[in-house]
Structure 1
Amino acid sequence: MTPPSSTSSAPALIWKSLVRNRSALIGGTITLVVLLGALLAPLIAPWDPLKFDPPNRLSGPSPEHWLGTDQYGRDLFSRVLFGARFSLSVAAISVLVGLLVGGTLGLLAGYFRGWVDLVLSRLADILIAYPAILLAIAFLAFLGGGFVNLVLAISVVFVGPFLRVARAAVLTVREELYVEAGRAMGASDARMIFRTILPNASAPLIVEVTLRFAYAVLAEAALSFLGLGIQPPFPALGSMVSEGRAFLSLSPWGSIVPGCAIVLMVLGFNLLGDGLRDALDPRLRRH
């Protein structure tokens, strides 16, 4: 039996709703611009982000330095591009790891129920009970900073939410008639989970991925601001905001520019997530 979500008209309806959604268009445009800027940073950046230029330190926007320079004379535009590249790399890997681990556990909990559901649900409760940023700080304080540990810390925070979302989606789908029909025909548990249930429970996970991207960018910036992320002189948006605080009265650009970049990335992912939620939810979709 073919599940309802596989009908040929569904993708067309979703795309039509997505294109007509203002939040999705604005968020998608912002996200696309940010992604292109980060991916093409080595080609776009007019200056070496690590190059010191003391005579031009703390200068404002100019034809030579479009967004000004920091306390060492380094070009802020170039540093923001590479900082965004780093933030998006951390966010992408963290969300992927959180989705694979939390999503898989959520699928198992929702499908098998019983003691499996009980144990995994309590694991999600434990992870969600602690404030996310404090859990990440504790993890980094124990293991130290750096790219790998930063990714692991944010990934651990994401396991609980992804587990909850996947479990809730599976609990809804597993009661559908086509799932019962598949079981009656003798389909294996693995086939039912990954070939039948997962495709029809993926919409909430897709939305959660975009929203978690926004949180991952914010979390990376917060941890870098506290000195727990990648260490200077490598550019990270959070550490750039922190370094610029000491020079706000002389030149606020050192904090304002990376701060605005963080806001722009978070706004883009949040708007895109809201638009995807409306497009993927049949109750909210406009025909």
Structure 2
Amino acid sequence: MPGAVRLGGRARRLRRTRPGPVTLLSGGILALMAAAALFGTWVAPYDPAAQDLALGATTPGWAHWAGTDELGRDVLSRCLAGARSALLWPLVVALGTCAMSTSLGLLAGYRRGWIDAVMMRVVDLLIAMPGLLMLIVLVGVLGGGIGWAVLAMAVLFTPGDIRVVRSLTMAQRELAYAEAARTLGLGRARIMFRHLLPNIAPTVVAGALLSFVAALVALSGLSFLGIGLPAGTPDWGLMIEENRGLLDLNPWAAVVPAALVTIAATAATLLGDQLFERLSDA
């Protein structure tokens, strides 16, 4: 019977760690999109920039599975090529936001004192500002390039995550294992990153995926407004803006990139929820 108990406990742990259907589906979708971002220009049936003005906008067919836009460019090829810019820059924003918010949140929550007070006042000021409006103004003032848009977005996304990490760190630093580490004379950096960080990792990972989703939607919105990437660049948000006038001729030219943005955002959100639950139970 003790062996059966051990076997049952092992089986329960395997069920908890085994990815569920939602995790597999959302992870598979994001993996396919990542593959398109890496190899899309190689597997695209046509040159994404090739124009055929005589052909113009056409509906889907055997030659062009998603049709063509008003310049005769293949929509499917542009969607495959556009996955790189549509996913890469939100990933950069998410990683930058995660790195800054985790480091600063750990520092503020663990050190407390004047460091925490000054940092929280700056965070409160940034959170009080209208994010989207500030983003548009900053990108417009700084020149409208995608690099400035990514930098401004990472800075504006960081304050909210700092507050979350700070509150978790404040709770963890009072627990027995953190007190034991301080008693042993371990350095602050080692305690924060080797002991506290693993215990708040589920929230950090989930927050990074949510930052990716927010950046994906925001950058697509900026591209739709004509801010960031230059005109004609294969990008999902820019394709929606370029093809919104073709809803009568070929609606798929705008519907397909819009659907891809929606699917990517939904898959990343679901994956973040699933990873948070599984890492929290680990």
The TM-score normalised by the length of structure 2 is: 0.91
The answer to whether the 8 Å contact 2:139/2:148 transfers is yes
Q: Output the amino acid matched with 2:37.
A: A
Give me the whole-angstrom Cα distance separating, in 1, the residues matched to 2:59 and 2:87: 27
Measure the CA separation in 2 of the matches of 1:175 and 1:167.
Answer: 13
2: CA distance between counterparts of 1:102 and 1:139?
Answer: 21
- Listed one character per residue, the Cα deviations across residues 121-161 of structure 1 (whole Å, up to 9, x for unaligned) are 22222222223222211210111222211211221122112
Q: Where do 1:88-237 residues align within 5 Å? A: 88-237=87-236
**CA RMSD after TM alignment:** 2.0
Asked whether the equivalents of residues 23 and 274 of structure 1 are also in contact (C-alpha less than 8 Å), the reply is no
1:17 matched to 2:16? The reply is: yes
Q: Deviations over 1:179-218 (max 9, x none)?
A: 1011011111111112211122211001111111111111
Give the match's secondary structure for 1:108.
Answer: helix
Whether the 8 Å contact between 1:241 and 1:255 is mirrored in structure 2 is yes
> SS at the partner of 1:201?
helix
* Contact 2:58 2:249 (C-alpha < 8 Å) held by counterparts: no
TM-score calculated relative to the size of structure 1: 0.89
Structure having the higher Rg: 2
**Map 1:61-80 → 2, pairs under 5 A:** 61-80=60-79
- Does residue 81 (structure 1) correspond to residue 113 (structure 2)? The answer is no
Deviations 1:76-114, CA, capped at 9 Å, x for gaps: 111111222101110111111111222211111110112
**Conserved? CA contact 1:38–1:84, under 8 Å:** yes
Code of the aligned partner of 1:144 = G
Which ranges of structure 1 fall in alignment gaps of 5 or more residues?
1-8
Residue 188 to residue 20, structure 1, CA distance change in 2 (3 Å): closer
**CA gap 1:126/1:21 in 2 versus in 1, 3 angstroms:** farther
CA distance in 2, matches of 1:146, 1:81: 22
SS of the residue corresponding to residue 40 of structure 1 reads helix
SS in 1 for 2:54: helix
Partner of 1:6: none
CA contact (8 A) 1:225 1:238 kept: yes
CA distance in 2, matches of 1:277, 1:196: 19
Distance in 1, matches of 2:17 and 2:251, equals 38
Which residue is 2:268 aligned to?
A: 269
Count of matched residue positions in the alignment of Structure 1 and Structure 2 = 273
CA offset at residue 231 of structure 1?
Answer: 0.9
Give the residue type in structure 1 aligned to 2:68.
T
Deviations 1:19-47 (A, max 9, x none): 34333222112111111111111221111
Relative to structure 2, which stretch is displaced further, 67-76 or 93-102?
93-102
Contact 2:178 2:195 in 1 (8 A): yes
Q: 2-side partners of 1:191 and 1:248: how far apart?
A: 57
CA contact (8 A) 1:128 1:160 kept: yes
State the Cα distance separating 1:51 from its structure 2 match: 0.9
The one-letter amino acid paired with 1:167 is R
Equivalent pair of 2:145/2:227 in contact (CA under 8 Å):
yes
Corresponding residue for 2:257? 258
Counterpart of 2:39 in structure 1 is 40
Question: Following the alignment from structure 1 to structure 2, what is the Cα–Cα distance between the partners of residues 153 and 49?
Answer: 29
